Chain A
Amino acid sequence: MSCTVRIASPLRSYADGAAQLRAHGDTLAEVLAHLEQRCPGIRFRMIDEHERIRPHMRLFVNNNEARELSAAVRDGDTVHVICALSGG
């Protein structure tokens, strides 16, 4: 499946400044694996060593927040990588 990944600004240095990229995969895990191939290092900044989404990251498939990397991704979906931080 082919999807669009919208990349939050703190991660764009890994994507040569791109705000969105095309990626492939049937699950969020597969999409992120494909993204990692194109943008080495980006995945570990979002996902910890135990496959958990980091505390200040939120991943959405279209308008639905995905809490697990097993979330399904369909052809034409948009994966949103959102950063959530408060305070100074």
Chain B
Amino acid sequence: MSSTLWIGTRKGLFALRADGARRRWKLSGPQFLGHIIHHVLQDPRAPRVVLMAAKTGHLGPTVYRSHDRGRSWREAAAPPAFRPVSTGEEARAVQRVFWLTPGHASEPGSWYAGSSPAGLFRSSDGGEHWQPVAGFNDHPMRPKWAALGTPDGEFLHSILVDPRDPRHLYIAISIGGVFESTDAGGDWAPLNEGCAADFLPDPNVPFGHDPHCVVLHPAHPERLYQQNHCGIYRLEGPGRRWQRIGRAMPKTVGDIGFPIVLHPTDPDTAWVMPMDGTSVWPRTSIGGKPAVYRTRDAGSSWRRMDRGLPRSQAWFTVLRQAMCADTHERPGVYFGTTAGEVWASLNGGERWRCLARHLPEIYSVSHAT
């Protein structure tokens, strides 16, 4: 199986391609030099198809599509955009397409996109035309759910489709919380019980939380993991209460970070990349000593994995889309840093090596076959 890592950066798109053994990697690019690439994903239902969420410093947000594994790209005819509004209504405009998710396996060509400010969009034709999902974007509670966004706007991300049911969806909003729909996005309900929101005046609120990344395992879809601004959590459905599995992390490290990545076949194994969430929130590797932490028991315990990573004075951040695993039998784990480095481990995090340096700030890393 060949491997490609799509590297979305603040200044363009790069690719790392490997031989079957994943020992030799070749960097190519940039494509779209100067474009801001928030997310790049292969379509698992049609592996030649890749979608990319992009904008530039000047120009509005859009989506590009490739039908030849990234050799050529074509812009969406109708990129994600909110519906026209009546006089007096709030006129939100998509500032960035932040997140992409392929739709259900039974719905070829379907995709979801999340934006900032928080909006949910769907395409039924492979990303050529996008329509707003009115059930969320016009939900009477949406202005309250997404009321506390940062000056950059709140971000809608972690769009999850239940592999058992295409009508069962999850989304996450930073800041806003996790929300669930069981009717294909027609209606939504908060799903935040048990999550801390210690930055709010009342931390015991039904929404207003800050999920950084939420993931679902295809082999165990009733279980969700979440890396939140306030810790690492797991939810075992049909229960609706999150458990803070980050409590098992070393106290000196804490359980703050952006990404959380699951093993492709083992729902009990996950990797996180802790960052410094103390005082003024530096959001760098803790103490300048980056480390990945892995659990193999669904969060009951965590193990530090830093062999091969810098031992000191490495102050990067790994953003929420910038860490992934591949689908090999012995899965590779990869992350990209805000310092423009791409790191890989082919043995579950036991040992890391740097695949690329000196790239622009990395926003997303995804694996393609």
Residues of A within 8 A of B (CB): 8, 10-11, 40-41, 44-50, 52, 54, 56-57, 83-85
Q: What CA separation (Å) do A57 and B55 show in the bound complex?
A: 13
Q: What CA separation (Å) do A57 and B91 show in the bound complex?
A: 18
Q: Check B24 for interface membership: any CB of A closer than 8 A.
A: no
B221 to chain A, nearest CB (A): 34
Q: What CA separation (Å) do A49 and B81 show in the bound complex?
A: 6
* Chain A hits for B238, CB < 8 A: none
* Chain A hits for B77, CB < 8 A: 40-41
Cβ B93 vs Cβ A52 within 8 A: yes
Q: What CA separation (Å) do A45 and B82 show in the bound complex?
A: 14
Cβ A49 vs Cβ B94 within 8 A: yes
Q: Check B62 for interface membership: any CB of A closer than 8 A.
A: yes
- Count of A-B residue pairs with CB < 8 Å: 50
Q: What CA separation (Å) do A48 and B62 show in the bound complex?
A: 11
Contact partner of A50 (CB less than 8 A), chosen from B58, B59, B79, B84, is: B84
| Nearest 6 interchain pairs by C-beta | A48-B93, A49-B81, A83-B58, A45-B59, A50-B91, A56-B58
> Which residue of chain B is the closest to A41 with respect to CB atoms?
B75
Residues of B within 8 A of A (CB): 56-60, 62, 75, 77, 79, 81-85, 91, 93-94
* Chain A hits for B91, CB < 8 A: 50, 52
> Which residue of chain A is the closest to B76 with respect to CB atoms?
A41
Cβ A45 vs Cβ B84 within 8 A: no
| Given A44-B60, A85-B57, A85-B58, A50-B93 contact (CB < 8 Å) | yes
* Chain B hits for A47, CB < 8 A: 60
Which of A11, A41, A47: most chain B Cβ within 10 A? A41
Cβ A10 vs Cβ B59 within 8 A: yes
* Chain B hits for A45, CB < 8 A: 59-60, 62
* Chain B hits for A11, CB < 8 A: 59
Q: What CA separation (Å) do A85 and B57 show in the bound complex?
A: 7
Which of A45, A49, A52, A56: most chain B Cβ within 10 A? A49
> Which residue of chain A is the closest to B93 with respect to CB atoms?
A48
Contact partner of B93 (CB less than 8 A), chosen from A8, A10, A49, is: A49
Cβ A10 vs Cβ B60 within 8 A: no
A81 to chain B, nearest CB (A): 10
B271 to chain A, nearest CB (A): 31
Which of A40, A54, A57, A84: most chain B Cβ within 10 A? A54
A69 to chain B, nearest CB (A): 14
| Given A49-B93, A49-B94, A50-B84, A44-B58 contact (CB < 8 Å) | no
* Chain B hits for A52, CB < 8 A: 91, 93
Cβ A84 vs Cβ B58 within 8 A: yes
Q: What CA separation (Å) do A44 and B82 show in the bound complex?
A: 12
> Which residue of chain B is the closest to A52 with respect to CB atoms?
B93
Cβ A10 vs Cβ B81 within 8 A: no
Contact partner of B57 (CB less than 8 A), chosen from A40, A48, A50, A56, is: A56
What 18 new A-B contacts, CB under 8 Å, besides A10-B56, A44-B79, A49-B84? Answer: A11-B59, A41-B75, A41-B77, A46-B59, A48-B81, A48-B93, A48-B94, A49-B93, A50-B84, A50-B85, A50-B93, A52-B93, A54-B59, A56-B57, A57-B58, A57-B59, A83-B59, A85-B58
B119 to chain A, nearest CB (A): 10
- 21 sample A-B contacts, Cβ–Cβ < 8 Å, listed by A number: A10-B58, A40-B77, A41-B62, A41-B77, A45-B59, A45-B62, A47-B60, A48-B60, A48-B81, A49-B82, A49-B84, A49-B93, A50-B82, A50-B91, A52-B91, A56-B57, A56-B58, A83-B57, A83-B58, A83-B59, A85-B57
> Which residue of chain A is the closest to B82 with respect to CB atoms?
A49
Cβ A46 vs Cβ B60 within 8 A: yes
Q: What CA separation (Å) do A49 and B56 show in the bound complex?
A: 17
A59 to chain B, nearest CB (A): 13
> Which residue of chain A is the closest to B81 with respect to CB atoms?
A49
Q: What CA separation (Å) do A79 and B137 show in the bound complex?
A: 35
A85 to chain B, nearest CB (A): 4
